[in-house]
Amino acid sequence: MNSIPELLAKRRRRLVGLMSGTSADGVDAALVEVETLRGGVLAWDMLDFLTIPYPDAVRAEILGLQQGGDRVLERLTRLQVVLAHLFADAVERVTREAGVDLATVDAVASHGQTLCHLPAFPPEDPMHRIPGAEAWSRVNRGGGGRLAAGTLQIGEPAVLAERLGIAVISNFRSRDVAAGGTGAPLVPLVDHLLFADPARSRAALNIGGIANLTAIPAGAPAAQVTAFDTGPGNMVLDGLMEILTGGRKRFDEGGALAAKGAPDREIVDGLLSAPFFLQAPPRAAGREQFGAEFTRAFLEACRARKLSDASVLATASWLTARAVEDAYRRFIEPGFAVDEWIVSGGGAHNATLLRHLADLLSGAKVVPSDTYGLDVDAKEAVAFALLAVLTLEGRAGNLPGVTGAARPVLLGDITPGDRFL
């Protein structure tokens, strides 16, 4: 095990990146070797990857806490520890399956499980009326006078570090939010590293619970990318599938049921006139916008028009695809046309959704990230491993032009492993 000074000084590191997304269905673990080359370029190789699904009771508690209820603080405290042990299980398993000694892993990069993401308190929030609120607004220098807000990802890093004896980098989003940013998306810097091309303009589209895109002009530096959340990815689709099957199924595998229905385009066109979809970047979304309440209202609108279950799912798939296309036409295409869309995340397995995207984005290639050697399910776990390396090297990991932060900042907290000095 490395001490913190040794870890900071290394140029070649082995990390496990952990990602638990807004779908709250499990933890992804990517075992990655990263070398810092001349000029600060990061060269990386993924040794292994796996996903450990959450037990049903854990997933239910994550979603339940987001709705409030009784004994919230007690339940939150317990869940912090339970998730940390599940994360540690993932680290131990991915190293074991790769045939790698856990003692050779330098650090764990843990995104944590998002429970709440509030890049800005709304004007009607009572927090605006407490003493000092005006000063808090001034702290949020990049936020146009918004009250400084926060974000919460859980999975106690101290438990991970104590159990594994390895340093943990965590809490990546909070510093960007503190600097006036939206705290998301944070992956665009890594998207540029992975997919920038001197001759072709590309968009990296990750479809997890929320869909986000990074548009990379041909030959452009990282500071010139545009990135933001487009809207729901799998979140509404998965929520609907659970309701429609009485909890028997969590998702529509391959988009098979949606493929049997017909999307109600009038419903989707109406939704796309909502303020979120018209808002120019920077913007970020989560369950606060597209969680259980939105899903129930969406289903009610579909039932009012007497849509079948298949057509309900087809309409939700169309919403995800149209939100991507609409955002592209409004905010990207006026500056440059995207030649190639590189899709990752769980949505990359949904053939119906990919077909919608290919139809809507005609003229551009739509390909999975596997085409470029990156497992569609692994991208964000790999990305946070790379962001952790930037943190260890004292390099900013956010892009202010993407999140709206006042300045580039160092992301994440470092929790030492067994050795500090």
Q: What is the per-residue pLDDT across 381-411, written as a single tens digit (0 to 9) for each?
A: 999 999 999 999 999 999 999 999 999 999 9
Q: In terms of residues, how long is the chain? A: 421
State the residue for tokens 């452009």. 220
Type and span of the H or E element at 62: helix 56-65
pTM: 0.91
What is the chain's mean pLDDT, rounded? 91
Tokens representing 108 are: 């764990």
Residue 182 CB-density burial (10 A; 0-12 exposed, 13-18 middle, 19+ buried): buried
Query: Any bridge partners for residue 150, and if so which?
Result: 118
For the chain, the first-to-last Cα distance in angstroms comes to 11
Q: What is the per-residue pLDDT across 126-170, written as a single tens digit (0 to 9) for each?
A: 554 555 555 544 444 444 444 557 899 999 999 999 999 999 999
Say which residue, 413 or 22, is predicted with more confidence: 413
Q: What is the per-residue pLDDT across 52-105, written as a single tens digit (0 to 9) for each?
A: 999 999 999 999 998 888 899 999 999 999 999 999 999 999 999 999 999 999
CATH classification of 188-372, choosing from 3.90.580.10, 3.90.650.10, 2.60.34.10, 3.30.420.40? 3.30.420.40
Using an 8 Å Cβ cutoff, are 228 and 213 in contact? Answer: yes
Type and span of the H or E element at 43: strand 42-53
Using an 8 Å Cβ cutoff, are 331 and 228 in contact? Answer: yes
All structural domains of the chain with their residue ranges: 4-183+377-415, 188-372
CA pair distance 305, 103, nearest whole angstrom:
59
CATH classification of 4-183+377-415, choosing from 3.40.50.2000, 3.30.420.40, 3.10.310.10, 3.40.50.2300? 3.30.420.40
Q: What is the per-residue pLDDT across 269-296, written as a single tens digit (0 to 9) for each?
A: 999 999 999 999 998 888 889 999 999 9
Using an 8 Å Cβ cutoff, are 62 and 114 in contact? Answer: no
Q: Three-class SS of residue 51?
A: strand
CA pair distance 175, 170, nearest whole angstrom:
11
State the residue for tokens 């927090």. 127
Same fold, 4-183+377-415 and 188-372: yes
Number of alpha carbons in the 13 Å side-chain half-sphere of residue 277 = 21
Tokens representing 391 are: 């943190």
Q: What is the per-residue pLDDT across 102-121, written as a single tens digit (0 to 9) for each?
A: 999 999 999 999 998 887 65
Residue 27 amino acid letter: V
Q: What is the CA radius of gyration of the chain?
A: 21
Q: Three-class SS of residue 208?
A: coil
**Pick from 368, 356, 353: which is nearest to 252 by CA?**
353
Using an 8 Å Cβ cutoff, are 52 and 265 in contact? Answer: no
CA pair distance 419, 192, nearest whole angstrom:
34
CA pair distance 52, 89, nearest whole angstrom:
9
Q: State how far the alpha carbon of 316 is from the alpha carbons of 73, 239, 307, 310, 323, in Å.
A: 34, 10, 12, 10, 11
Going through 119-189 in order, the beta strands assigned E by DSSP cover 150-154, 167-170
**Phi-psi domain of 196 (left: phi exceeds 0; alpha: psi -120 through 50; beta: other):** beta
| Torsion angle defined by CA atoms of residues 144, 211, 122 and 77, in that order, rounded to the nearest 10 degrees | -120
Residues 6+ apart with CB under 8 A from 416: 4, 161, 167
